[in-house]
């Protein structure tokens, strides 16, 4: 078994992403997000409630498509 520190793993991931030409721009990250087209009504309601609770607590809610 090969042991890696978290820093070493992060460096390997970043190197692999560079090899593949992947970058972490907000546009590319958003393109990979689940748009929610196949979400169940229950999941949509859950996401709506999470957003309401975050706003009530003065927090920024996580971005979710519902």
* pLDDT tens string 15-40: 999 999 888 888 888 888 888 888 99
The tokens for 2 are 């090969």
Q: Is the pLDDT of residue 2 over 80?
A: yes
Write the DSSP symbol of residue 57: T
The tokens for 17 are 């992403």
Q: Is the pLDDT of residue 65 over 80?
A: no
Q: How far is CA 32 from CA 9, 29, 35, 51, in A?
A: 22, 5, 9, 21
What confidence category does residue 13 fall into, taking pLDDT thresholds of 50, 70 and 90?
very high
With 0.75 as the threshold, say if the pTM is over it. no
The tokens for 62 are 């996580």
Q: Is the pLDDT of residue 41 over 90?
A: yes
Mean pLDDT, the chain, as a whole number? 90
Q: How far is CA 54 from CA 13, 48, 59, 63, 65, in A?
A: 32, 10, 5, 11, 16
């Amino acid at each position: 078994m090969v042991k890696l520190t978290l820093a070493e793993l992060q460096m390997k991931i970043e190197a692999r992403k560079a090899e593949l030409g992947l970058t972490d721009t907000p546009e590319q990250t958003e393109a990979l997000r689940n748009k929610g087209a196949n979400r169940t009504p229950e999941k949509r309601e859950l996401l709506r409630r999470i957003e309401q609770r975050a706003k009530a607590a003065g927090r920024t809610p996580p971005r979710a498509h519902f």
